[in-house]
Structure 1
Amino acid sequence: MTIQPIINTPDLDRMLNFYTTLFGAVEKFRIPDGEPTFFIGLQVGDAELGLVIDRDAEAGTTGRVLLSFDVENVDALLDQVAELGGRVQGPPNDMPWGQRVAHVFDPDGNAVNLTQQVTPGGGEG
């Protein structure tokens, strides 16, 4: 069984730019192959992410989806979030279970966690 998170968005191009630029997602296919595109399938590391056009989707409505990305350096990505149309919720925190975590929102207001493995004392590991 495979689970693929799919984000409904009123703006496919904006969301495609956010996820390809910030996380290095690679576009694998579009449906249909020509215009107008309804669905974009992305590969992000070992995972898949789908973007589907929904002109009635309300950007900024929280709770529609939560995505968590393991990244090499949480702090290095935070400056790019706003440049790509997203929003940083607050500064990153070192958690007692050995992760550095920052909470951000993508351009449609979907919650995205940036997580980085660190040692429990806060140093990189």
Structure 2
Amino acid sequence: MVLLRKVAERVGLATALSAALPKGTGPCRRDRGMALVQLACAIVLGATNVLEAEQLQYHWRPVFPRPVSDSTLRRALAAIDTPVAARVERARAAIRRVMWMLLALRPGGFPWIWVCS
């Protein structure tokens, strides 16, 4: 899970998602792209709902230095309508192309996994 979060940061997934999602309002608004990345990581850890996702982030504090509340996660998910979903899909596809390019540039791909093409 730590590798997943680090890869998401390094290839720009959170930044791409942030650009695709509408910005929150208010003085303490959180980055919704990073909120979705943290939600995905919490799901990898076993979360089955947003409350569990919040609790896992607090439990894994070294991995999630700024945990996202369940209400923030709900607002981030509620902001995804059809046009936003299309932008998220384009952002995801762009990051996926980056990942495949990085794999192609490394002789033999990642040495510890086999990737089906």
Q: TM-score range by the shorter chain?
A: under 0.3
More helix by share: 2
More strand by share: 1
- Tell me the TM-score normalised to structure 2 length: 0.26
Relative contact order, CA 8 A, sep 6+: which one is greater?
2
- Tell me the TM-score normalised to structure 1 length: 0.25
